[in-house]
Structure 1
Amino acid sequence: MKLTYSKVFVTITYNGLNFELKYPTDIFNYIDLLNIVFLGEIPKEVGQLKSLCVLNLAHNALVSQIPSELASLHQLESLDLSSNQLSGPIPHELASLTSLDSLHLAYNNLVGEIPEEIGQLKSLCVLNLAHNALTGRIPSELASLHQLESLDLSSNQLSGPIPHELASLTSLDSLYLSYNALAGRIPSELASLHQLESLDLSSNQLSGPIPHELASLTSLYSLYLSYNDLAGQIPSELASLHQLKSLDLSSNQLSGPIPHELSSLTSLDSLNLSYNALTGQIPSELGSLHQLESLDLSSNHLSGPIPPELTSLTFLDSLNLSYNNLVGEVPEGHEFSAFSNDSYLGNPGLCGSPLSMQCARAPSIIGFIVSIGVGLYLGFATVIWALVYWENGRKWFILITDKFYFRHFY
């Protein structure tokens, strides 16, 4: 890719073809070359387009480093270089783009630390640096981005704690920090992010309990804390997240019972508590989660029967209760007949369809009474037959009767 700049035209050369953008450069303010599959480096001459407001070079095959000359585009409001093959560090000079409201650098090969100078981009609403190889800590200076609505730093190699200063980003509606090496506790201060709709801290090294203060995030639609080292009990306070549609706390070290209060999450369509150390019985109240489509409680220490109330989950198309200590008969109901044996593996105390082990049927009270009646009838009939048709039987009966009579009445 080659760019030739003049006072009247901007010419972009690609594979020997010249694309002449016939606009005077003093009003030239928009370049959108999304998904053209341009090769090569980003021309430094782009930095001469002083009136440029939007630069979108996403989904191409651009290589090398981001030119620091882009910092001269003081009118730039949107910069999207995502989904290329850019490498090297993020230029700290980009901090001079004070009009920038969205910065997308995701899906590249960027390395180094996140420049703390990014905290100077006071107009920034969207910051997406996901799927790179960025290292170091999350700079606390990002807390100065008070207009920020979306922050995505997922799938990097970031380490250290989650800065509690991020709690000052009160306009934030999505926070994605998954697939890093973040450690320490989840800051309870995040509970002040009342606009937050999606929080993803999964696949890190976070420890400690789940802060019960997160229950104040009443706008949350999704909460993902899986694949960490979180311990303690599941806070029953999470039941106040009435907008929640997806809750994933799997692959941690959570213990104690499943709070029956979770049954008030009536908008929930996915609940995953697998691979923890949860104990007690499955709350029958979960049967009131009528929107639930996926339920995974596998690989815990749950005991007792499967509540028959779960058969009322008519939208359920994925169920995994395997590898617990459940006992009794698998309930028969609407969707339960469609689940395979895999849904119940590792529970030797379970029986009934679809398992190969069938349940032993205890006799009913009516059957018990009938069997006693039949036995008495057969016994009485045998005695009568002996008296009528068997001569020795009559003699034996008379002898026994005489002995009884003389013993008690003489």
Structure 2
Amino acid sequence: MKPIPLLPSMTNRNIRFCILYIAVFAVVLLLLSFVSPAGSCSEQDSRSLLQFLAGLSQDGGLTTSWRPDVDCCTAWEGVSCGRDGMVTKVSLPSRGLHGCISPLSVANLTSLTHLNLSDNALSGSLPPELMSSLSLLVIDVSFNHLDGVLLLPWPMNTGLKLPLQVLNISSNRFAGEFPSNLSWNAIANLVMLNASNNSFTGEMPIAPLCNGSPSSSLAVLDLSDNRFNGEVSPEIASCSMLKVLNVAHNKLTGILPIKLFDVTSLEHLSFADNDLQGEIDGAHITKLTNLVTPDLGENSFHGEISESIGQLKKLEELRLDNNYMSGDLPSSLGNCTCLTTIDLKINKFSGDLGKVDFTSLHNLKILDVMRNIFSGVIPESIYSCKNLTALRISSNHMHGKIPVWLAKLKKLKVLDLSNNQLTSPMPSWINSLSNLFYLDVSNNSLTGNIPVTLMAMPMLESDNYEAHLTRLFDLPVYRISALRQYLALTSFPALLNISTNKFTGVIPQDIGQLSALSQLDFSRNKLHGEIPPAICNLTKLQVLDLSSNYLTGPIPEALNKLNFLSEFNISNNDLEGPIPTGGQMSTFSSSSFVGNPKLCGSILANCNSVKAAPTVLTTSGKQCSSEVISVIAFGVFFGVGVLYDQLVLSNYLDM
């Protein structure tokens, strides 16, 4: 099963590629900064800008400064000019602009080099006149509501090359096929094209973009989050200067062309979430000696990871998740000393994870091998990864104890060892992991009492633990009951899950100290005693599961005050007394309480104590009614009898 992204266009896989975009923008802005102080605004440029303003239905307050009676070069917000008084830059990102871009307004700014209208609510089409500008170097209209078919320039002089270097039309509503029959020669100077997060269809526009020319200057190409289909064209090799290629989240099929690996300048490569297949040939991929982040996850690749991967010395992120890859991990992976992320989850990798020597991977921050077939013990060499932030080895066949050396991973924030065959008690040193806020050891064979130190986890005691979290990373979280995914570290739940183990004893009273917890699961263990009232102090709880234990006593009334609680289960225990009413407890179905024969409440149809009272009352009522009827009947008959006797006696005396 593939994880469903919450916001595909905003995942960290795309964020990684934005870094290079920023670098490109920075270079362009640096060039533009070497202009002399502006002169007075030209009358033509002033009229063009006012025409642009008139086309907006909401101007974000621009009319305050955009006035005809003041100089547009010195007083108009977002406008910069050259020494000759000609407008060179219009930068109005995130201003709440609504309306259309007037075709002849901005296009008439003949010295304009930089146009930034990103992150607004502009609609309509992108005027092709902008693309035909003989001065524009940068056009950024990303994150708007622009739609329709994209029209690219077709100059009268087909030999003309426009100066445009950066075109960012991402996160709009463009649809239809990408233009392929227009003059791409005209934009041969293009360095970056970002058309991600639209609704483009058809085949990838590789051939027209690079025009079959090895001299193409295109360095960044992002076509992710669209509807492109078909196979990847071998003509991709014509983009010989390409450093970033992102075609994730499309509908591409077939195999990766061998020619792709001739683009040795590639640093960031993503074909994630398509339907590509075949093997990843180690002999070919090692030609990409500059490769930093290969992302081939969520496809149908099979085969093994070649030992030759150790030759990719610049590798920082290896993402092959959600495929059908198998075999042992190559020991040469330990040679990729720059690695920060290894994401191999949901494959068929097997063997001993310890074949990889993690000692040299000092930069590793994320290790995710969830849902594979790894066996053996958790490799001790991982303790050398002092920067490790997230470790997930869940749903494998690992055995043995929770290694003592885990205590050395002081930066660890997420630890998921669930669904393995781990044994022994929970270690008392667990609270020494001062940054840990997500702990899942469910579905193992852990024993003993819940250690008191688990109730003193520094990050889970923090009133505002999210303030301590700074790094974003893509580490989806899966639950058995439902598929959930958290794409950012700050959106991970503060979680403590020790369910489906062999823990005994009582729930410590100090549980109330973990005020940051949003999910608490102690279900399917052998816990006894009462539900500690202190658990009601966990006011941020959204999930509370204490089911299938041996808990006794009443349900604390104060649980009604946990207003954020959306999932609650205390079924299959030995609890007793009435179910609290009039609060949060009333929002849950009977399945949250069943299996506690001594519990009473209207929500439980089979609650004997509730049924008993009406039965007694009904019987008593029937008895009372019978007695009343008998008395009345007796009185009536008695009265009739007396009356009859009186009548008979009266007649007799009258005679």
Length-normalised TM-score, structure 2:
0.52
Structure 2 residue 506 is the aligned partner of structure 1 residue 261:
no
Structure 2 residue 524 is the aligned partner of structure 1 residue 252:
no
Partner of 2:402: 186
Flag the 1:39–1:239 CA change in 2: closer, same or farther, 3 A. Answer: same
Flag the 1:239–1:347 CA change in 2: closer, same or farther, 3 A. Answer: same
Q: Distance in 1 between matches of 2:495 and 2:369?
A: 21
Structure 2 residue 304 is the aligned partner of structure 1 residue 55:
no
| Runs of at least 5 residues in structure 1 that lack an aligned partner in the other structure | 362-410
Partner of 1:65: 279
Aligned positions, number: 359
Partner of 2:413: 197
Relative contact order (C-alpha < 8 Å, sep 6+): which is higher?
1
Indicate conservation of the 8 Å contact 2:545/2:568, yes or no: yes
- 1:144-223 maps to which residues of 2 (within 5 A)? 144-223=360-439
SS where residue 318 of structure 2 aligns?
A: strand
Indicate conservation of the 8 Å contact 1:280/1:304, yes or no: yes
Q: Distance in 2 between matches of 1:148 and 1:210?
A: 26
Structure 1 residue 268: Cα displacement: 0.7
Partner of 2:119: none
Indicate conservation of the 8 Å contact 1:285/1:309, yes or no: no
Q: Distance in 1 between matches of 2:366 and 2:538?
A: 30
Match for 2:306 among 81, 87, 91? 91
Q: Distance in 2 between matches of 1:151 and 1:191?
A: 17
Flag the 1:125–1:17 CA change in 2: closer, same or farther, 3 A. Answer: closer
- 1:256-335 maps to which residues of 2 (within 5 A)? 256-335=505-584
Percent of matched pairs sharing the same residue: 35
Flag the 1:347–1:8 CA change in 2: closer, same or farther, 3 A. Answer: same
Indicate conservation of the 8 Å contact 1:209/1:232, yes or no: yes
Q: Distance in 2 between matches of 1:314 and 1:61?
A: 43
Structure 1 residue 129: Cα displacement: 0.6
Aligned AA for 2:530? Q
Q: Distance in 2 between matches of 1:18 and 1:340?
A: 55
Structure 1 residue 30: Cα displacement: 2.3
Moved more, 191-200 or 146-155: 191-200
Structure 2 residue 309 is the aligned partner of structure 1 residue 103:
no
| Runs of at least 5 residues in structure 2 that lack an aligned partner in the other structure | 1-202, 218-228, 461-493, 614-655
Structure 1 residue 31: Cα displacement: 2.0
Structure 1 residue 230: Cα displacement: 1.0
Q: Distance in 2 between matches of 1:328 and 1:128?
A: 49
Structure 2 residue 333 is the aligned partner of structure 1 residue 118:
yes
Q: Distance in 2 between matches of 1:115 and 1:143?
A: 15
Indicate conservation of the 8 Å contact 1:116/1:142, yes or no: no
Indicate conservation of the 8 Å contact 1:9/1:22, yes or no: no
Partner of 1:406: none
* 1:53-83 deviation per Cα after TM superposition (whole angstroms, max 9, x unaligned): 1121222222221011111211111111111
Moved more, 58-67 or 88-97: 58-67
Indicate conservation of the 8 Å contact 1:251/1:276, yes or no: yes
Indicate conservation of the 8 Å contact 2:243/2:267, yes or no: yes
Flag the 1:216–1:16 CA change in 2: closer, same or farther, 3 A. Answer: closer
Aligned AA for 1:274? S
SS where residue 280 of structure 1 aligns?
A: strand
Aligned AA for 2:281? P
Q: Distance in 2 between matches of 1:263 and 1:92?
A: 50
Indicate conservation of the 8 Å contact 2:449/2:503, yes or no: yes
Q: Distance in 1 between matches of 2:508 and 2:231?
A: 66
Indicate conservation of the 8 Å contact 1:242/1:267, yes or no: no
Q: Distance in 1 between matches of 2:431 and 2:359?
A: 22
Q: Distance in 2 between matches of 1:178 and 1:40?
A: 31
Q: Distance in 1 between matches of 2:376 and 2:582?
A: 49
SS where residue 535 of structure 2 aligns?
A: helix
Structure 1 residue 44: Cα displacement: 2.8
Aligned AA for 1:55? L
